[in-house]
Homo-oligomer: A and B are copies of this chain.
Amino acid sequence: MNTRISFELVKTCRQSGARLGILHTPHGDIETPCYMPVGTQATVKAMTPRDLEDVRAGIILSNTYHLYLRPGHDLVREAGGLHTFMHWNHPILTDSGGFQVFSLAKMNDITEDGVVFRSHIDGSSHFFTPEKVMEIEEALGADIAMCFDECAPFPSDHAYAYGAMQRTHRWAERCREAHTREDQALFGIVQGSTFRDLRVESARTLAAMDFPGYGIGGLSVGEPKETMYEMLEEIMPFMPENKPRYLMGVGSPDCLLEGVLRGVDMFDCVLQTRTARNGLAMTRHGKRMLRNAVYERDFTPIEEGCDCYACRNGFTKAYVRHLVKEKEILAAQLITMHNLRFSIRLMEDVRQAIREDRFGDFAREMLEQGIYA
C-alpha cells in the first residue's frame, strides 16, 4: 500500500529540533515543513491554478464533505479525478469530512457504524461511514487521503473525549481495511481533545497501525493556543520519526512557527484566503487592514520585501484600498496572492533556517517583531 508516496526526513535542526523533510508523491515532491492553501470546493478561492503556481503553492487541500455534496464525488471521478477536474497537476490532500459533519452539518447522529448528518446546504440526509469516506476519497483521487475520525468539540469531558478517540481508532482500522488505491497515501488522525493521557494513547495506538503519515486533529477548535502547544509537546515523543505530522486546520503565522518548533511538518488553514477577502493583509510586522484611511495615499507595496505578484509589481496599498472599498474582485485576488505567498515564503525561510540549524533564533525573531498572529 502507498508504494508511490513516502516521506524522507532530511534533517533535524540542532538548535530547535525542528524537522526538514521531503514528501514524495505521484504529483511531485513537497518540502516540509509546509503550509497548504485550502481549496474547499475544488478551487482556492479567487485563485487560478496559474496564480497558485505563482505563489509557489506546493500542495493544496480540498474538502471531502463539500465535494461529496457538490458536485458529487461520482462526477469528480468521471472528470478524471480532482487533479484533472480543477486543473491542478501538483499534490492534493483531501480531509475526510470528519470535522465538517460535526461542525458544519445541521445535525449529526453518531453510531458505531458511522454518522448520519444533514447537509448544511439543503438539509438532505446523508450517512458517512469509514468505508463510504474511503470510497469518496478514492474517487476524488488526492495524493493523500485522511481517515474518517470523530472530532470532539471543545470543551469535552474526559469520558466523551475518550469515547470519541476510541471510535476514531476503530474507524482508522476500518479505513485502512477499506482503502485500496496504491497511488494515494492514507493518513491516520490523532485525537484526544485537550487531555494529555488521551493524546498520548491516541498517538501510540495510531503509531502502532503504521500509517504513512499522521494528522493531528481536534485542535484549534476553541482551546487556548497554549493548550494546543502542550498537546503537541505531549504527543511528539510517541509520533514515528519517519512519518509526516500534519496539524490540521492550523496556519496562523505564529502557530506555523510554534508548530514547527514542536515537530510539525504540515499545516493547512483558510485564514490566509478568508481574511484576504475581507481586505486583511498578513505581514511579518502584523496585520494590515487595507480598508483603513491611513492607506488612502500610501503608494508603497502591501509588504516591503515580499515577492508576490502584487508586491513585486508595485500594486500599492492606495490602489488595493480603492479596490477593497469598491468591492472589486481584484482586491480579493491581489490580497489572496499576497497572503498565500506570505505564508509559503515564511515556510521557505523556515526550511532554510532549519537547514542552517538556526530555526530557534528565526522563530523567536519573527514572533518578537510581531508577525501576524
Contacts and interface: CB of A to CB of B under 8 A. Distances in A.
Contact of A297 (B75, B333, B334): B75
A340 to B, nearest CB: 14
Contacts of A299: 78-80
A158 interface: no
A307 to B, nearest CB: 15
A42 B322 contact: yes
Contacts of A75: 296-297, 318, 322
Copies of this chain present in the complex amount to: 2
A316 B79 contact: yes
A174 B156 CA distance: 76
A242 B71 CA distance: 55
Taking residues whose C-beta sits less than 8 angstroms from the other chain, chain A's interface range is 35 or more
A318 B71 contact: yes
A51 B50 CA distance: 10
Contacts of A326: 41, 70
A329 B273 CA distance: 12
Interface in A1-60: 41-43, 45-51
Contact of A315 (B87, B318, B323, B332): B87
A328 interface: yes
A123 interface: no
B43 A323 contact: yes
Contacts of A79: 299, 316, 318-319
A45 B319 contact: no
Interface in A318-362: 318-319, 322-323, 325-326, 328-330, 332-334
A41 B328 contact: yes
Nearest to A45: B329
Contact of A87 (B50, B70, B86, B313): B313
A237 interface: no
B78 A319 contact: no
A41 B326 CA distance: 8
B318 A48 contact: no
Given A41-B328, A78-B299, 10 more contacts: A41-B322, A45-B329, A47-B330, A49-B313, A70-B326, A71-B322, A75-B322, A79-B316, A80-B299, A329-B329
Interface of A: 41-43, 45-51, 70-71, 75, 78-80, 84-87, 296-297, 299, 309, 313-316, 318-319, 322-323, 325-326, 328-330, 332-334
5 contacts: A41-B322, A41-B326, A42-B319, A46-B329, A48-B51
